[in-house]
Amino acid sequence: MEEDEYRRIYRQENPHRCLFEKAILARRCDCSRAQRHNLAEREAMGCTDAEGHARCEAWLRQVREKAQFALQLVAVSGPLPHAKEIRVQAGSVQGLAELLSAAGELVSKDDIYGLLARAEACYGSLAEVPFDGVVRAVGQFRARPRRPGKD
């Protein structure tokens, strides 16, 4: 299948691409609103909830902006490289789960939708979340450990 044709069919079959797709496919977290799609021997994730999709978009936009220093970036002017995007996605979920747990909330990183909804309920809005711990988790997140002897 030609790459342009694949992209066209992908957008047609998956109109609301999951914004945490990389982290979910890497099995670092999960979401109750995510739906798997298989197309041309590739796996993709879609979002089944428009409100949740907008919430995820707002969250990731804020995290990318606040984590620029932790990601060693001067500015975020377009899509991030794959490894940095996984750090933003999975690290922010991990950091938010730890933050909410410390606040006494029972949360799991196995449901991004529920995690972001709890954060909104706890802090009033996602913009009010104290990002110190979240940014620290993004900066410390490693997708996979280095193998011994491979530097």
Which residues neighbour 123 within 8 Å (Cβ) at sequence distance 6 or greater? 129, 130
pLDDT at 85: 92
Give the total residue count for the chain: 151
| Residues 106, 97 contacting (CB under 8 angstroms) | no
Residue recorded with tokens 């799609």: 37
pLDDT averaged per 10 residues, the chain (length 151): 78 85 93 88 89 95 91 81 92 95 85 95 94 93 73 55
pLDDT at 1: 57
